[in-house]
Structure 1
Amino acid sequence: MNAVNENVVHEIPFPPGQVVVTRRIAEELNSLVIGHLLSRHLHCDWGDLCEEDWKLNDAAVRHGERLLSAYKAAGQKVFIITEWDRSVTTVLFADEY
């Protein structure tokens, strides 16, 4: 994980499309937590990924490929995935993937 990443942007560089959350996410996380994680994803803060995966996501923003972020919330790993065509962004627990 990058504690400080100079590549985190202040403007949203890609459209999220339709944002959907799984039923478990909606039941187990409050909307403020979900919103915070989604904001991090949309501003290219990819969370708990290795440096190589950060770089892959940074390139994927520029080349229109799938984006994956990983975060910890409520003691669980949360994934946020934006599809390559930017049609949908999904928030789900890692074990729902």
Structure 2
Amino acid sequence: MDTEVLFELGEIVVTPKALQMIRHAGSIFPLNCHAYGKRGVISEADWKLNDWAISHGERLVSSYSEI
């Protein structure tokens, strides 16, 4: 994992499946990955939008199929 958080976490919204994964793993590993720039499996367009969003304080997207 990178050594620097890229942004402050604001409102955290998760899907029911993501919440189930977090509960199952007993950790917030996906949230840490998100904050450190590990986006999981997203499209190239979403990667570009995320890069823009970090510098403009907008929403970010990440997607993880497993922990």
Q: TM-score, normalised by structure 2?
A: 0.70
Q: Which residue of 2 aligns with 1:31?
A: 26
**Is 1:48 equivalent to 2:41 in the alignment?**
yes
Larger Rg: 1
Alpha-carbon distance change, 19 to 65 in structure 1, aligned in 2, over 3 angstroms: closer
Q: Which residue of 2 aligns with 1:89?
A: none
Alpha-carbon distance change, 44 to 50 in structure 1, aligned in 2, over 3 angstroms: same
Amino acid across the alignment from 1:31:
G
- Give the match's secondary structure for 2:64: strand
How many residue pairs get aligned? The number is 65
Point out where structure 1 has 5 or more consecutive residues left out of the alignment. 1-7, 75-97
Q: Which residue of 2 aligns with 1:14?
A: 7
Identify, as 1 or 2, the structure richer in helix.
2
Q: Which residue of 1 aligns with 2:52?
A: 59
Alpha-carbon distance change, 51 to 36 in structure 1, aligned in 2, over 3 angstroms: same
Point out where structure 2 has 5 or more consecutive residues left out of the alignment. none
User: Aligned partners of 1:23 and 1:48: how far apart in 2?
Assistant: 18
Aligned-residue offset at 1:56: 0.7
Q: Deviations over 1:10-42 (max 9, x none)?
A: 31121113657677625852223xx22111100
